[in-house]
Amino acid sequence: MASDALSGSVLDTLAAAGCAVIGGSVVRDGGSTFFLARTNGGGRVLGVLGDAAGFSGTRHEPSGALLCAPTAAHAEALRVRLPWLRPGPLGLATSAGFGDRLGLATPGHVRALRSTGGPAAAIAPIFAQQSVRENARTGRSPQQVMDDALWGLLAEGWRLPWGADADHLKTPADVESFAAAGFSFYTIDPGDHVDDAAHAEPPDAVRRKLDALPWETLEDSLADLEARYLGRAVALEGGAETVDREALWRAAAKYGRAVAHTVVMYRHILARLGAGGFELEVSVDETASPTSVAEHLYIASELRRLGVRWVSLAPRFVGAFEKGVDYIGDLGAFEAEFARHAAVARSLGPYKLSLHSGSDKFSIYPIAARLAAGPDGAPLVHLKTAGTSYLEALRTLAVAAPALFREILGLARERYQTDRATYHVSARLDRVAAAEDLADHELASLIDQFDARQVLHVTFGSVLAVFGERLRAALAEHGEAYAGHLTTHFVRHLAPFVARGDAGAEGCGS
């Protein structure tokens, strides 16, 4: 508690000045004591007692605390003094990524982890996670994403390892701003280089595509490729997997350019950060057709041959992983295919299977946790979430600021047909009630309705462009309610993956 590290007189004088110390944030480091305090307006200030070198602000008397704005410079000064505020590699521990489009969700994410696994955190967290596309729509930079996570972690007294995900990177140029901000986990998205048509085209068309592959980048030839796979069986649990010529050709035609692009991206990051300075995830989930087991074998085998090291891989699984709603598809078919993908990941890695667009897929979590269990029983799974935290923010507004929520809903309805273009969703506007048709007490129910969730989910960029300042101010005012909604929501996500054991080893190629 704050009273254990700050005297009662300090607390009283700060409170009299409108600053309520956040108890979990108080930390002593050598000759300094740091803490966060909430102001009457819902904002936060950083307090420093004792040695305040590297910090600037207003000296508060008679407490003697230096009160500082939560700036990027002060965040970096804290990282220097308190190394646990820097992200780092997490290895093969069962993990979850918590995208936060508003920069206010980390306290709720921390509380959900503690509610699920206790102080030891049974699931390794990635608290700073944002894609280039999301940053463009929210108007945030990688450094802002990192700093927002830091203030939330300080507020909650988080001291355990955590990661930061530079999500869905498509070009080497995308890497730089995330590397400069200290991100530790890099998700490569080679989806633009996947040829979805190759899995069903006539053989002569597939052969032409094979001839046009970037064989030099792949350090390979068609003859050598066939020599490695044809007539050979890959030992997997429960039997062996063989790849015939047609399956091999189609896999290479579909994913060969994606493998080459991933190699280029990996080597670029490796040159920028050095071995051991980052973790890699490979994502091929944003494609039109599912990734077959043979294709998974091809991708993993070729990346390993080319020296790529990764901790998680996101195939395109069977069924539909639409934004903001549960899995759509045959659970039996998913279970059968997931079991085979998990066998590949254990045999060619081990590495984690990553569930992208993983928010709210409650029906498949128990399946994934059971079938992807590693040697110690802990699931070799990375769960990636993003927009669901934004939806919980809107739930908070629906209860605490209904007038603002009504305006947001109106804009979301207007923008949906345009904003949905870059997302895989199937919501229909005619099934989403207009704000004027609902009483205040009915507004929150929209957050649990399929179509309304997706309409609100994919229009976040348009909403933040118009209402961002008001939305963040309302959430700051009702921060405890927001954290409570997030805690309840994410316990449902995390609980199925909690398992005993220690899965802290390195990833593929270790």
Same domain, yes or no: 124 and 42: no
- Active-site hit among 134, 167, 279, 285: 167
Residue 411: C-alpha distances to residues 365, 422, 427, 429, 469 (Å)? 33, 18, 16, 12, 15
CB neighbour burial string for 395-415, b if at least 16 within 10 angstroms, e if fewer? bbbbbbbbebbbbbbeebbeb
Same domain, yes or no: 285 and 367: yes
Same domain, yes or no: 46 and 188: no
- Active-site hit among 100, 148, 281, 451: 281
Same domain, yes or no: 369 and 439: no
**Residue 125 belongs to some domain of the structure:** yes
Sign of the CA dihedral 144, 70, 402, 400? Answer: positive
Same domain, yes or no: 244 and 257: yes
The number of beta carbons lying within 10 Å of the beta carbon of residue 210 is 18
Same domain, yes or no: 43 and 70: yes
Q: Which pLDDT belongs to residue 12?
A: 85
**Residue 310 belongs to some domain of the structure:** yes
Q: Cα–Cα distance between 371 and 355 in angstroms, integer?
A: 13
Last residue within a domain, chosen from 81, 115, 133? 81
User: Which pLDDT tens digit goes with each residue over 192-233?
Assistant: 999 999 989 999 999 999 999 999 999 999 999 999 999 999
**Residue 203 belongs to some domain of the structure:** no
In the chain, the amino acid numbered 278 is: F
Same domain, yes or no: 176 and 94: yes
CB 26 within 8 A of CB 159: no
**Residue 271 belongs to some domain of the structure:** yes
Reply yes or no: is the peptide bond before residue 87 cis, omega within 30 of 0.
no
Question: pTM of whole model > 0.75?
Answer: yes
Same domain, yes or no: 77 and 89: no
Number of domains in the chain: 3
**Residue 217 belongs to some domain of the structure:** no
**Residue 20 belongs to some domain of the structure:** yes
Residue 275 neighbours by CB under 8 Å, 6+ apart: none
CB 185 within 8 A of CB 88: no
DSSP secondary structure string, 346-400? HHH---EEEETT-TT-TTTHHHHHHHTB-TTS-B-EEEEE-HHHHHHHHHHHHHH
Q: Cα–Cα distance between 289 and 298 in angstroms, integer?
A: 16
Q: Which pLDDT belongs to residue 500?
A: 47
Range of the domain at 344: 85-197+227-387+492-497
CB 481 within 8 A of CB 475: no
The three-state (H, E, C) secondary structure of 55-122, written as one string: CCCEEECCCCEEEECCCHHHHHHHHHHCHHHCCCCCCCCCEEEECCCCCCCHHHHHHHHHHHHCCCCC
Has 322 been annotated as catalytic?
Answer: no
Element (H, E) at 312: strand 312-314
**Residue 306 belongs to some domain of the structure:** yes
Same domain, yes or no: 51 and 105: no
**Average pLDDT, whole number, for the chain?**
94
Residue with the two structure tokens 């769960």: 383
Has 414 been annotated as catalytic?
Answer: no
Residue 402 neighbours by CB under 8 Å, 6+ apart: 440, 443
Rg of the chain, C-alpha, whole Å: 24
Angle at 18 between CA 16 and CA 19, to 5 degrees: 100
Q: Where are the alpha helices (DSSP H) in 17-54?
A: none
Instruction: Give 143's Cβ-side CA count (13 Å radius).
Output: 11
What tokens does 69 get?
């704005």
Nearest to 328 by CA among 363, 280, 282, 276: 363
What does DSSP assign to residue 200?
T
Residue 211 neighbours by CB under 8 Å, 6+ apart: 222
Q: Is 302 exposed, middle or buried (0-12, 13-18, 19+ CB in 10 A)?
A: buried
- The dihedrals phi and psi of 37, each to the nearest 5 degrees, come to -135, 145
**Residue 308 belongs to some domain of the structure:** yes
Same domain, yes or no: 262 and 406: no
Q: Cα–Cα distance between 12 and 509 in angstroms, integer?
A: 56
Q: Which pLDDT belongs to residue 171?
A: 97
CATH number at residue 306: 3.20.20.70
Last residue within a domain, chosen from 36, 51, 81? 81
User: Which pLDDT tens digit goes with each residue over 443-491?
Assistant: 999 999 999 999 999 999 999 999 999 999 999 999 999 999 999 999 9
DSSP secondary structure string, 169-191? E-SHHHHHHHHHHT--EEEE--G
The number of beta carbons lying within 10 Å of the beta carbon of residue 72 is 14
Same domain, yes or no: 285 and 336: yes
Q: Which pLDDT belongs to residue 510?
A: 39
Per DSSP (E only), the strands in 199-257 are 233-236, 239-242
Last residue within a domain, chosen from 81, 97, 122? 81
What tokens does 46 get?
């950083």
Same domain, yes or no: 6 and 45: yes
Mean pLDDT of successive 10-residue segments in the chain (510 residues)? 65 86 93 92 90 95 93 97 97 97 97 84 93 94 98 96 97 98 98 95 97 98 97 87 96 98 98 96 93 97 98 98 97 98 96 97 98 94 97 98 98 97 94 96 98 98 97 94 98 87 48
**Strand, coil or helix: 19:** strand
